[in-house]
Structure 1
Amino acid sequence: MSKDQQSIPKTKTIYLIRHGETDFNRQGIVQGSGVDSDLNELGQAQAEAFFKQYHHITFDKVYTSALKRTHQSVRKFLEKGLPWEQHEGLNEISWGVREGKVPNDIDNEYYKILIDSWVSGKVDMPSEGGESPIDVINRQKPVIDLIISRPHEETILVAMHGRAIRILLTLLLERGLHEMDTFEHANLCLYKLVYDYEKAKFFVELENDLSHLSELNID
């Protein structure tokens, strides 16, 4: 084995976070990929708390979606001068024509039927004017393949969105896409994953971890 081969890391550690809270989150309004909202005051405090807990980690790169609520969630890390890539493939699912609207009873019933359909296995069913989980996983996979193809980025930070994270975790952990709702998430939650290059498998070390937010007074 050459020295170059010996120097290639055997694992990659991914700190996968959901963005901090926005006013749309607080109001229960669906954002999806079509609403490019900002973090609210609490969301900014959540981002600050995460940075305070993990600023000592030597991240080789930061990856985010193309939506600014993910950029704002990792702003303090980017201000340190860390390399950064944003990918539309990591965007939230498009919920279609109902994005950005205050949901009424009809909308809530629509979402319930849609998600129940996905849980029953109809993961190719899109929202009206939007995407299906299959659509999302198909655009996520090239980004994940790119990340895996860079073994020298041993430790990375990835900021994404709730539904997109649920979908991504089924891909990374080789679960059925219809199982996506078994993965819990909250604003600025952390999933810590390790990719083993020899086994070509992901393993979870932390799941929906919120310990870094323990000092915040969240209603």
Structure 2
Amino acid sequence: MIIYAIRHGQTDHNLNRIVQGWSDNPLNANGETQAVQLGHFLKEQNSVFDLIVSSPLGRTLKTVEIIQNVMKIKLPVVIEPLFIERNFGVFEGKSVDETMPIIYVKGFKCDGYEHDEALLQRIQQAIQTIYLKYPTKTILLSVHSHVIKSLLILSDPQSYNFQTLLNNGSMCIFNYDGNVLTNLAFNIEAL
């Protein structure tokens, strides 16, 4: 299974560096432009997908809607709740600059916050879930920063961590054979 994992376009929370997690914030104008640019990039690369899998949040769904319009394709969109962004709990709506130094401490846990091990386990389950249904498919996966960081960590924990920088509208490509997740391309941007 080949997975083109895209980070949704920018929202105002991204722009203002506010933790959004499960908040269902819409794309802003720049985020829509990023999705258009990514759609053109994928079209120019002659990318072909069998289906789209998305987080249930509006910003990921809008990103793939725009990409499909640009690419002039209409594929089924499978909403997989396991791919929702990390549950930041009490940090939701707070400043990224204040929050990240707290949660990036190795082993950090607090009530209501989805700690690293729990998130990695959930994303491993999500990948396995879609693999069991679509083992030979090429999938466009529309998700979030910490979901893609989880995929990167699962593929190569020596090279990636939750502090790895991923821009809105960027893409990483993975291969998953049911056991091993391999990162084929990192943080591709359509500029």
Which residue, 128, 135, 139 being the options, matches 1:151? Answer: 135
In the alignment, is the contact (CA less than 8 A) between 2:53 and 2:140 conserved in 1?
Answer: yes
Alignment of 1:54-93 (within 5 A): 54-55=42-43, 56-78=46-68, 80-93=73-86
For residues 141 and 63 of structure 1, what CA distance do their matches in structure 2 show? Answer: 15
Aligned to 2:171: 190
TM-superposed deviation, 1:181: 3.3
Change in CA separation of 1:64 and 1:192 when aligned onto 2, cut-off 3 Å? same
Larger Rg computed on CA atoms: 1
- Taking the aligned partners of 1:161 and 1:127, their CA distance within structure 2 comes to 22
Q: Give 1:38 shift.
A: 0.3
Contact kept in structure 1, 2:32 and 2:66, CA below 8 Å: no
| d(CA) in 2 for partners of 1:188, 1:66 | 17
Note the 1:1-219 alignment, pairs <5 A. Answer: 12-33=1-22, 35-55=23-43, 56-78=46-68, 80-101=73-94, 103=95, 108=98, 110-115=99-104, 117-118=105-106, 122=107, 125-149=108-132, 150-153=134-137, 155-171=138-154, 173-175=155-157, 179-181=160-162, 183-196=164-177, 200-210=179-189, 212=190, 214=191
Give the SS at the match of 2:153: helix
**TM-score computed with the length of structure 2 as normaliser:** 0.85
**Counterparts of 2:9 and 2:85, CA distance in 1:** 14
AA of the residue aligned to 1:136: L
* Alpha-carbon distance in 1 for matches of 2:186, 2:156: 16
* Cα distance in 2, alignment partners of residues 183 and 65 from structure 1: 21
**CA drift at 1:78:** 4.8
Contact 1:78/1:84 (CA < 8 Å) preserved in 2? no
Q: Is the 8 A contact 1:93 1:133 kept in 2?
A: no
Aligned equivalents of 2:89, 2:16: Cα separation in 1? 18
**1:183: how far off?**
3.3
Aligned residues: 185
Deviations 1:141-181 (A, max 9, x none): 2221122222231x11011111221122212x1526x9513
Q: Using a 3 Å threshold, how does the CA distance of structure 1 residues 134 and 39 change in structure 2: closer, same or farther?
A: same
Counterpart-to-counterpart distance in 2, 1:163 and 1:126: 16
Assess, with a 3 A threshold, how the Cα gap between structure 1 residues 23 and 127 changes in structure 2: closer, same or farther.
farther
Question: Structure 1 regions of 5+ residues with no counterpart?
Answer: 1-11, 215-219
Q: Normalising by structure 1, what TM-score?
A: 0.75
Give the letter for the 2:125 counterpart.
P
Residue 206 and residue 179 in structure 1: after superposition, are their counterparts in 2 closer, same or farther (change >3 A)?
A: closer
Please list every run of 5 or more consecutive structure 2 residues that lacks an aligned counterpart in the other structure.
Answer: none
1:204 and 1:134 map into 2 onto residues whose CA distance is 20
In 1, Cα distance between equivalents of 2:17 and 2:67: 28
Question: Do 1:22 and 1:38's aligned partners in 2 also have CA atoms closer than 8 Å?
Answer: yes
The answer to whether the 8 Å contact 2:35/2:67 transfers is no
